[in-house]
Each structure stands twice: as structure tokens, then as C-alpha cells.
Chains A and B, each alone.
Chain A
Amino acid sequence: MNSGDNARHALPNTQPFVYEAEEEAGDGIGKTDELPPIVIPGVKGIISGTSGSAAKAEAIIHYAKRCDIGARDRNEDSCIAFATETGGHFTMMPFGLYIVADGMGGHTNGHVASKIASRQAANHILKEIYLPLLAHDTAPQIGIRDTLVEAVQIANTAVYQDEPEVDSGTTLTVALLLGNRLHVAHVGDSRLYLHTDEKLEAITNDHSLVQRLQDVGQLTAEEATVYRYRNVLLRAVGQGEEVEIDTYMRLLPKKGKLLLCSDGLCGFVADDAINNILNEDKPIQQMVDDLYNAAIAANSNDNVTVILVEFSL
């Protein structure tokens, strides 16, 4: 299933499918020269044959971000945002890659871990998914979920091997927007939300002690915000040779927003308050700043990272 295969030459990916005019009609009744069109209800005439997605309106994806040191001495969060815009007759499949990593603090070089993890993951995904998209204009036949899991696993190995004597680790939340679909790989307590129709929905589940204690009814959401061990992670990238990774996949609505953030925001600002900010009719950079200010107003004592993606597919 890769290029260079003999079968590939027999069936070139880059050419439109060979369309053959009808030669041998069935030996049924009423043979005529004119082919009857297939009439699709609600569609005028025949859908015109197009190659690729040239006939579709171009998707609009833009983002704004803020990765701020907040109330700390050092910024141990890292983020990467990557989106493509193409023009011309042949538009490209919508592509966006957004990553947030929150390094584990203290003496453990969290800032290094989050940098390594986010960039290693981005590198693998761009290499395996984005570059083939540019080069071949068609689907690379690798599994997207597999690629995302590999990317996080590579990030894990890189952090783990970076300084073996140092117990470093990081959260890692990877959101890939591809076509009209969202693919996610996630470890830790950074979060990804989908905002659509004025509703905010958390896509990821936190791998944190506070979340687990809430799950078993030993802590309320209110207690969680002031809980002493609210920074304790149950899973982190870079803590062992392998890491267990959660994946999520969603078919995206036509319009909406994606919010990625570190717990410097979502650990202090409730979902309702975040939703209220995203419901406003403002430029997204302004919304990102509003989210940051809300975190500071809520006495966030952590680094604050926010990536906000607005899409219209």
C-alpha cells in the first residue's frame, strides 16, 4: 500500500478515472444512441463529473493562539498550529494540525519535554499525512489513527530517551483536521473542545487524579479547582517506554470551533464560562485573549495555552 508498487502504475492515482462510453448495450429493449441520464431527486440534471474536489467551495479554517507564561517563572507549555491555504482550480483537502503539550513542572525540565513532544509528533504527522497529500493529491494508504498513535509514541520515546536520568514528562493533545473529519490523539490533562451551535463539548477525557476522583464520586467539580493534587497526572508522555494513548474521531459539523488548551485555562475557568466567551461575535484572536484574561482573573497560577480554530467546511 505504498508508492512504487507495480499495481500503482497500472492504476495511476493522479489520473482521473478512465471513463468509457457505452459500447455494448444490453440485449434488452429500446436500444438508442442517447444514454438516459440518472436523475437524482432534488438535483437538476446530472451531477457534473469532476475530478477531486474542484467543484466544491473552499473550506475556511483559521486559528489564533496564545501560549503564555502566566503566573509562573518559566513557560513549560508548548504548542504548534499548522494550517494550509491553497488557491486555484484544484483546491486541496482541508488540513489543520494543532498540538498542545504541558510539561510536568518542577525540576524535571517540563519545558524541554513539551517542546520535544509537540515537535516530534508534528514532524511525524506532517511527514506521513501532509507531504503525501501535497505530492500525490490523494489519500496516503496509511491509517490516520495509526499515524497519530505512532506520532505520540515517537514523542514519548523522544522525551523518555532525552535525559533518562531525569523524570520528565508532558501532556500531549494532538488534533488533526482532515477533510470534514477531526482525528485526535491524547495523553494527560490538556483538553480539546468542540464548540458548535453555542454548545461546548469536551472531546478528550483528562488522565488526572482529580478527574478520577470525580469519576468515583470522591470530589466535586468545585472542590477539584482547589484540590491540592490537582496537577497529578495518571498518564503522561515520556514516563516509560510506552504510553497508553486515547484516540477520538469525529465527523465535523459545517461550522464550528475547536479549542485546545492546557489546564492553566480549563483547570480554572469552568466550561460554562468558556462557552460564553466562544458564543460571542468577536474575532478569534480577541476570544483567545478573553480566554486568557478569564484564566488570570480566576487566579490561574499556571502557564496558559489556548489554540482556537474556527472552521467552515
Chain B
Amino acid sequence: MLQDRYRIVGTLGSGGFSSVYKARDMRFPNVTKLCAIKEMVISTPDPQMRELTIKSFEREASMLAMLDHPAIPDVSDYFTEEDRSYLVLDIIRGKDLDQWLEESTEMLDQTTALEWAIQLCDALDHLHNQRPQPIVFRDVKPSNIMLDQYGRIVLIDFGIAKVFETGDKGTMIGTEGYSPPEQYRGRAEPAGDIYALGATLHHLLTKQDPRLEPPFTFNERPITKANPKVSPEFEAIIMRCLAYDPVDRYPNAQALKLALEALRRPGFAATAVSPTFADTAFSAVPVSTAVTPPLPGLPGAASPTINQIKPVWTFKCEDEIRRRVAVANGMVFVSAYDNNLYAISQTKGEFVWKFPAMDNVGGSSPFVYEDNVFIGSVDRHLYSIQTRTGRQNWRFLTGGPIYTSPRIRFDHAFFGSDDGHFYAVNVRTGRSAWKARAYSAVRSTAYVDDERVFFGTEGGYIFCLELASGKTVWQAQAKRNVTSSPTLANEIVYVGSHDATVYALDAASGYVIWRFRARRPIVSSPTVYDTVLFIGSADGNLYALDTDSGRQLWTFETKGQVTSSPAVSHDAVYIGSTDGTLYCLSLRKGDLRWRFDTDGRFIASPVVVDDMIYIGSSNHTLYALPA
């Protein structure tokens, strides 16, 4: 019993410094008249501070008692007993919007949200227009907004409790997430309520709880992305409420209400909102975060551009092309499954010569060094061929088919063979400098720098050998085959594996720095550009990963497998898929720029040279396309 009048019959809620009780007013002994009593603990032990706190409380309570608005519960009494102050209010039957958020399964529709927002503006406008001082609610958030039994909005639990809080070191303050930045500096002004209303609407419409996000990050979580039924105009209004700087928000609740009401009018068109609203709303947002990452390009989305890309020329081989071509000395060198290495003129796509091996060369990608082109073959040889004439300089025999491409450094060709060995061969003489055991077939093309050679094996190892001697520096182990060819950037070796993992290994030690898991095996070889790594997977995706952490930046989904390796040129990344399409995507976000559809499958990787893309297909055709 409080004041010999209010009998506590239950608890409605409690927070850090205050509780709300359900009480019966015994002044009405014959009927059950219920009220809500907010109890606030005066925590300061200092008697002077205590006196000040009580005075401040009483001043605010008197002001609240003067209010008369349907969306604000009437204050009928207030008093202080010992170290607690009490506020007696009308009890509101219904549920608060926090409960509503918990219980609702659907996204909030715009019509209802507008209705609530307008009612809230009306209540805030009433508070802010109090004289001599505007009343600042200070704590607009879903749990402080009731939906009463008639479906009307009522603001409960005034931020008066803030008078009783002390800045507790190390813990997070009050209603983190809804409060405006300036409130953290102790400024409580009407513009803060407008921000908190915007934050509340953002939460209601997106169901993303701002208390679980870093503060002031609403602009990084666009409403229309979470709830596409919300109109861009409504979003723009809410974003203007959420501007960091109070002067960029609506000047008052009335102005906000007018903007909201304009949206509600039947036949509302985009022009109903002054475009300056939208402009202002976003001007307060840093450019870097205002641009929202669009959804990964859907193949259908750009259908108008399908096949608008026309090949500059095509060249037909006698069998499939599955490997990257080499472009050098004015020619394109193509290895096909028909045993031939073709030389084709770069500008016109005309046949120059072809070199027949004893068996298929289609598993190896040609490599040009000075005036010679090098190619491995299933006939177990590595061939050195003159680029001008197509005549053989020498051939080097290994113990098994060669499915890798040679890499040449310091006049030596470095390559692996299915015989489970890795070779260094002098390109002038065709003689071996060294041969190292790899214990299983090598189908991964090596990355060679000035001192080391890196490659994967079908046995699931990644090797680092000394370039000079072929001695091992380190070996690392994946869970399955490493057919993907490694690349090196910033002293990190990146490679994919059939175990569906991308590995980032320290080049000096072989330590795994990070791993990234795709859904299906990775045969594709990584391409690094700046701080982004691009790699495809049999799960159909092209992945863009942060090189330092392996964090996924974006993905692009194709309808087939991505076994080919991405090519990067200017601000675009090119990728082929077994769905028969070559995709051109924006480098930063993976947006589809254009696509080129064929009746074959792209297993080969594209090559970009002089603003032209060269890529072979399983339909035997080599395409030259404008980049």
C-alpha cells in the first residue's frame, strides 16, 4: 500500500532504476479502479543530490499532469516515499509494440506503419509545443509505445526515469539503438524524439533490432531491402528522421506528420513528396554507406543485353577447348582435344599454323616465352614450338600425361606431370635441371616467383619448392585433391581444393592463415586483384573474398559449375560457366554488366588482352569478344 491509497496488485515491468506496478486505487472502495504506478529509485547517497533529484522529478511530474492528449496517459498523482519517487498514471490495456514485434509473423505493412507514425507525430507535437519548455519524451522505442484495445497508439513510460540514472562505467547506456547521437552528449531536444521515432519505424518495418547493431548504422541497413513493400518515399522520410545531425532532420513533428500524410493520400505518386526531402535525407549519410549493395545479379535481370555482345571473330577447332588460350606475338595459341595446338591471328582469327602432338594437348594451356610456345600433352611430352613457324624445338618426356601448363622463369620451364613428379626443364636445351617427387599426379599449374615454386597435387598437398633446387620448403595438406592452380599475393598463397575450401597459406611457412568454404568442390584457380580474391566453385558461384580475412564480399550465381578461373580487367571480372554463358560483372559488387550465351559449356578460362576477351568452349569454338 502506498500513500494509504494505492494497493499494488501486480508488476507491469521493470528496468534498471525503475519498476511499473499495477495498483488498485482504494479511494474507490466499491469498484476496482486500476492504475499504473511507476516507481523510481533515488540511487544517489548524497543528500544534496537527492534533494535535487526529487525536485527535478516533481517539476517534470507536474508538467506531465498538465498534458491532455489521447495518446498520452493521464498523470493523476505523484509523490516521494523515502528513497523512491512515484508517478500514478492511467492504465492502458493492450500490448506494446515490442510484444507486437515478437508475436507478428508478417512484415508490417506501410499503411499501418504510416497510421501509427502519424499518431506518434501528433503526440510528440503536443509534447514539443508545451510552454514555457517543450517536453522531450527522450525514450521513443517500441516497448514504450502501446497499442490499446481500440488499436490506438499510446506513448507510455516517459523518459523521466533518466533523472534517476547515473553514468555507470563500462556498461552500455539505456536504450542504445534508438537514441540519437546528440543524446549521448547529454542533449535532449525535440529533434532527438524525431530520430528515435525514425529508429522505431525502422525496427518495426525491418524487424532488425537496433539494439543488436552498432549505434547509428540504420543507413547501412536499407528498409526496402528487408521489406520490399515499403515505398522508397516512405524510406526517404524515415532516413531523414535518422540523420546524424539534428538540423538535417525534419524541423518539427508537425513537418514530419505532413510528409507522412502526403504519402497516405489516395493516388499518391512519387512526386507527392518533394524531391528535396529525399535528397536531404540522404545528404546526411556518408557516401560510402549510402550506396546499398544491390542483390547479386540475377541472370534474367539483364536479359535485354543478352547476346548484344557480338564476337569480333570466332575460330572452330576439331574438338573441345577446355583450357585458357595464350595471346602473344600477334597470335592466339589454342590447345584443343583434337591433338593440335593452333596458332590463330590475334586480330582476324585466321588460321596461321597447327602443331599436331601424338595425343591430345587439350589438358594443358599453352605458355609463350620469347619466340617459343610451350605445351604439355597426354602423350607425356612437354613440347617447345616456334611461335612463327609452328616447328618443334625439342620435346621433353615425363612418365605420365601432362595436364598442367608450364611456367617459365630464369630460362626454365616448371611443370608437373601425372607421373607424380614436378620438373624444371631448361628452355634452351630441353634438358632437366631437377625433378622432384610430388607423390601423386600434378594437375595444378605452378605459381613461380623468384625463389619458390608453388603447386597442388591430386593427393591433396600443396607444395612449396625451392626454385633453384626443387627441394621442399614446406608442404601443406588439404582434405582432397588440389587441382586448382595457386596464386601468390602479398606473400600469401591462395588455392582451392576439391574439399570445397579456399586456402590462404603463408608463403614462407605454409601455415593456413584462413580458410573459406564453398558448397561444392573448387577446381577453379583464384585471381587476386587489389585486396579481393575471385574464385569459382562447382556449386555454381563465383566468390569474391577479402584477401586478408577470407570474408565473403559478394557472390554471383550461375546456372552451371564454375570450373574456369576469373579474369579481371579494368573494373570488370569475367567468368565462364558450364551453363554456356560468359558473364561480365562489376568488380566491386558483382553486378551483371552483360552476358554472352553459347550452345556449349565454358570450362576454359577467359583471357583479356588489348580490350579483347578470348575464350574457348566445349562446342569447339574459340570466341574473340570485345571487353
> Which of A's residues lie within 8 Å of B, judged by CB?
1, 5, 7-8, 10-11, 13, 16-20, 22-32, 35-41, 43, 46-51, 93, 104-106, 108, 110, 138-146, 167, 169, 178-181, 183, 209, 212-213, 216-219, 227-229, 231-234, 247-249, 251
Q: Which residue of A lies closest to B433 (CB)?
A: A38
In the assembled complex, the CB of A96 is this many whole angstroms from the nearest CB of chain B, namely 15
A142 and B467 within 8 A (CB): no
Which chain A positions have C-beta within 8 A of B548? 248-249
Q: Which of A50, A51, A209 has the most CB of B within 10 A?
A: A209
| A26 and B184 form a contact (CB under 8 A) | no
Docked-complex contact B244 and A28, CB < 8 angstroms: no
A182 to B411 CA separation, bound complex (whole angstroms): 35
15 contacts between A and B (CB under 8 A): A28-B396, A29-B429, A38-B412, A40-B468, A104-B170, A139-B474, A139-B511, A178-B506, A179-B511, A213-B185, A218-B245, A233-B172, A249-B548, A251-B490, A251-B491
Q: How far is the CB of B9 from chain A (nearest CB, A)?
A: 28
Contact residues of B between 331 and 349, Cβ < 8 Å to A:
none
| Cross-chain contact B434 with A29 (CB below 8 angstroms) | no
Min C-beta distance of A304 to chain B, whole Å: 16
Chain A contacts for B4, CB-based, 8 A: none
The docked-state distance in angstroms from the alpha carbon of A231 to that of B466 is 52
In the bound complex, do residue A218 and residue B432 qualify as a contact, i.e. CB atoms below 8 Å apart? no
B474 close to A38 (CB less than 8 A) = no
Is chain B's interface secondary structure helix, strand, loop, or mixed overall? Answer: loop
CB neighbours (8 Å) of B613 from chain A are none
Q: Which residues of B435-471 have CB atoms within 8 Å of chain A's CB atoms?
A: 435-437, 439, 450-451, 459-461, 465-471
Whether A232 pairs with B171 at a CB distance below 8 angstroms is yes
A218 in contact with B510 (CB, 8 Å): no
Q: Which of A28, A41, A218, A249 contacts B430 (CB 8 A)?
A: A28
Provide the main secondary structure of the chain A interface.
loop
In contact, A143 and B515 (Cβ under 8 angstroms): yes
Residues of B within 8 A of A (CB): 167-173, 181-182, 184-186, 214-216, 244-245, 381-382, 394-397, 399, 410-412, 424-426, 429-437, 439, 450-451, 459-461, 465-472, 474-479, 490-491, 506, 508-515, 548-550
Given contacts A143-B512, A179-B509, contact A30 B429 (CB under 8 A): yes
Q: How far is the CB of A152 from chain B (nearest CB, A)?
A: 14
Residue of B with least CB distance to A144: B513
The 9 closest A-B pairs by CB, nearest first: A28-B430, A17-B472, A26-B396, A28-B394, A104-B170, A218-B181, A49-B471, A47-B468, A49-B469
Decide if A228 touches B434 in the complex (CB within 8 Å): no
Could you tell me if B186 and A228 are in contact, using CB atoms closer than 8 angstroms? Answer: yes
Q: A93 and B509 in contact (CB under 8 A), knowing A18-B437, A38-B467, A229-B167?
A: yes
How distant is the Cα of A169 from the Cα of B168 in the complex, in angstroms?
A: 14
The docked-state distance in angstroms from the alpha carbon of A216 to that of B451 is 47
Determine which residue in B171, B182, B425, B466 has the highest number of CB atoms from chain A within 10 A of its CB, and name it.
Answer: B171
Contact A1 B479 (CB under 8 A): yes
- With A11-B439, A217-B244, A229-B184 in contact, do A234 and B215 touch (Cβ < 8 Å)? yes
Residues of A close to B395: CB separation below 8 A: 26-28
- B181 (CB) vs chain A CBs: closest residue: A218
Q: Are A169 and B469 in contact (CB under 8 A)?
A: no
CB pair A7 B460 closer than 8 Å: yes
> What residue of chain B has the Cβ atom nearest to residue A5's Cβ?
B477
CB nearest to A42 among chain B residues: B450
* CB-contact partner of A213 in B181, B491, B549, under 8 A: B181
**In the complex, are the beta carbons of B514 and A144 less than 8 A apart?**
yes
Cross-chain contact B433 with A37 (CB below 8 angstroms): yes
Partner of A209 from B215, B426, B475 at Cβ < 8 Å:
B215
The residue from B215, B471, B490 contacting A16, defined by CB atoms under 8 A apart: B471
**Chain B neighbourhood of A247, CB < 8 A:** 549
Closest chain B residue, CB of each to CB of A248: B548
Task: Considering the complex, give the chain B residue whose CB is closest to the CB of A209.
Answer: B184
| Distance of A301 Cα from B451 Cα, bound (Å) | 53
Task: Determine how close the nearest CB of chain A comes to the CB of B373; give it in whole angstroms.
Answer: 16
Query: A104 to B171, Cβ gap below 8 A?
Result: yes
Find chain A residues with CB under 8 A from B431 CB. 25-26, 28-32, 35-36
B454 CB, nearest partner CB in chain A, Å? 14
CB distance from B374 to the nearest CB of A (A): 12
Q: Which residues of A contact B181 (CB under 8 A)?
A: 213, 216, 218
Q: How far is the CA of A13 from the CA of B472 in the complex (A)?
A: 10
A141-B434 contact given A27-B397, A46-B468, A110-B170, CB 8 Å threshold: no
CB distance from A92 to the nearest CB of B (A): 11
Smallest beta-carbon distance A246→chain B, Å: 9
Q: Contact: A11 with B461, CB < 8 Å?
A: yes
Q: With A20-B435, A104-B170, A248-B548 in contact, do A213 and B430 touch (Cβ < 8 Å)?
A: no
